[in-house]
Amino acid sequence: MTTLRLAIVGAGPAGIYAADILLRTERNFDVSIDLFEKLPAPYGLVRYGVAPDHPRIKGVVNALRDVLDRGDIRIFGNVTYGEDITLDDLKKHYNAVIFSTGAIRDAALDIPGIDAKGSFGAADFVSWYDGHPDVPRTWTIEGEHVGMIGNGNVALDAARILAKHADDLLPTEIPQNVYDVLKASPVTDVHVFGRRGPAQVKFTPLELRELGDMNDVDVVVYDEDFDYDEASREAIATNKQVKVIDRVLQKWRERPSANGTGGEASRRLHLHFWAKPVEVKTDDDGNVTALVYERTTSDGAGGVVGTGEVREQKLSQLYRAVGYFGSALPGLPFDERHGVIPNHEGQVLAEDSNDIVPGVYATGWIKRGPVGLIGHTKSDAMETVTHLVNDQSSWWQPEDPSAEAIPALLESRGVEWTDLDGWHRLDEHEVALGEPQGRARVKVVPRDEMVKISRGE
């Protein structure tokens, strides 16, 4: 029977789901899968892109762990595509490759002053508080009022971390250096700005509800934002998720803290809807001093138009969470406008002709852009895998498809790769670090330390 030797680049949910779906798919050939990951640990944004106080993520991690622990997928961690292993290497040793490298950069926001000192992309902030090994371990939080631009889940996650009291994060896996910075934070007010109204937000009810569960933090909403037009009322009446979001927000309107008055908490998280960022103001040294925004109103079709009314909120720092953006990969076409690998349902397309590139596939955010939740990732992987299975006649014919070839190649190049046993060692080590403090785990952050623990050195 024919054996498909498949390489998957990226060991986040998209890559792991693609491997699992292929192994479960009815087919007339055997499958051998190698998973390559540039970090020493798997799970991608589930480990490094989700706030540590999200308990539901444990279920996702457990599901991904179950797939890897079956033992029918090899994993090579601490291996960087384009440096440690190339597309030519993959063609020499595999029949096909699926790229699932995700999107980790902040999308741009083109307004004057956005590059000021004290203006940050939320993706960098998230990577810092999640202990990503490839970002600086230092961060400074300054001033009492900070701003967050965006109305998606990442914006709410990052705003919640800024507003929350550090001690309330101690039971989680938050790194010690992150706790120390948050403990010393002078922030009293976090302002979240979104261009659209409450019925058009991109976050989910769960993320919104979590704001209301914070200890000693008032969520502040403003009555002026709830003068709904027909389109908004229709969205609330016909969409269950929007209806739940509206119900939560309406309850908050009844609290003493509504409209910024009467709350008893020591910190506040303000939700400013209908607020389009216009300019970041700075002082003579280039530091953020305020966000200028224009009040918007509904255009009746789910979008917004400006009202001409301009307001200003004094801030000492500003974060933007307006989306993630993919990165180009060596040897592959790339759509600079959308931050994705150009593809047809996961089949990668040539840059110059839009012809299907044999043997090369994409799934996850590098395929479709940074939209959708875990469920979308599964259906996305299914679409890609279906094409892979049906494209058998155009698979590569590798020179050396042996299982021993890749470890030998990495060894010859001096790559200190980690494997599944190594991930188990690191996982157990982090859990053990957390046990004396009653914490889920304490993440090991330095890459070299992660590698040494994984390799048993």
Would you place residue 28 in the very low, low, confident or very high pLDDT band (cuts 50, 70, 90)? confident
Would you place residue 306 in the very low, low, confident or very high pLDDT band (cuts 50, 70, 90)? very high
* In the chain, % of residues over pLDDT 70: 98
Check residue 89 and report its DSSP letter: H
Closest CA to 331 of 77, 88, 20: 88
CATH of domain 3-104+326-417: 3.40.50.720
Q: What local confidence, expressed as pLDDT, does residue 55 receive?
A: 66
Structure tokens at 276: 């389009």
96 close to 390: Cβ distance less than 8 angstroms: no
pLDDT digits (tens, 9 = 90+) for 400-430: 999 999 999 999 999 999 999 999 999 999 9
pLDDT digits (tens, 9 = 90+) for 340-353: 999 999 999 998 88
Phi first, then psi: what are they for 37, rounded to 5°?
-135, 130
Would you place residue 252 in the very low, low, confident or very high pLDDT band (cuts 50, 70, 90)? very high
Would you place residue 200 in the very low, low, confident or very high pLDDT band (cuts 50, 70, 90)? very high
Q: How far is CA 259 from the centre of its chain?
A: 32
Query: Given the structure tokens 């993630």, which residue do they identify?
Result: 324
Q: What local confidence, expressed as pLDDT, does residue 453 receive?
A: 98
Question: Is the pLDDT confidence value at 166 over 90?
Answer: yes
Closest CA to 316 of 365, 360, 283, 351: 283
Q: What local confidence, expressed as pLDDT, does residue 294 receive?
A: 98
pLDDT digits (tens, 9 = 90+) for 264-292: 999 999 999 999 999 999 999 999 999 99
Arithmetic mean of pLDDT, 93-108: 93
Would you place residue 60 in the very low, low, confident or very high pLDDT band (cuts 50, 70, 90)? confident
Question: Is the pLDDT confidence value at 145 over 80?
Answer: yes
**pTM tops 0.85:** yes
Query: Given the structure tokens 């109103």, which residue do they identify?
Result: 297
60 close to 46: Cβ distance less than 8 angstroms: yes
pLDDT digits (tens, 9 = 90+) for 204-213: 898 899 999 9
H helix count then E strand count, the chain? 15, 18
Which residue ranges make up each domain of the chain? 3-104+326-417, 107-324
CATH of domain 107-324: 3.50.50.60
332 close to 345: Cβ distance less than 8 angstroms: no
pLDDT digits (tens, 9 = 90+) for 370-396: 876 676 788 999 999 999 999 999 999
Q: What local confidence, expressed as pLDDT, does residue 251 receive?
A: 95
Helix (H, G, I), strand (E, B) or coil at 418: strand
DSSP annotation string for 203-215: S-HHHHHHHHT-T
Q: What local confidence, expressed as pLDDT, does residue 37 receive?
A: 98
Query: Given the structure tokens 């494997």, which residue do they identify?
Result: 419
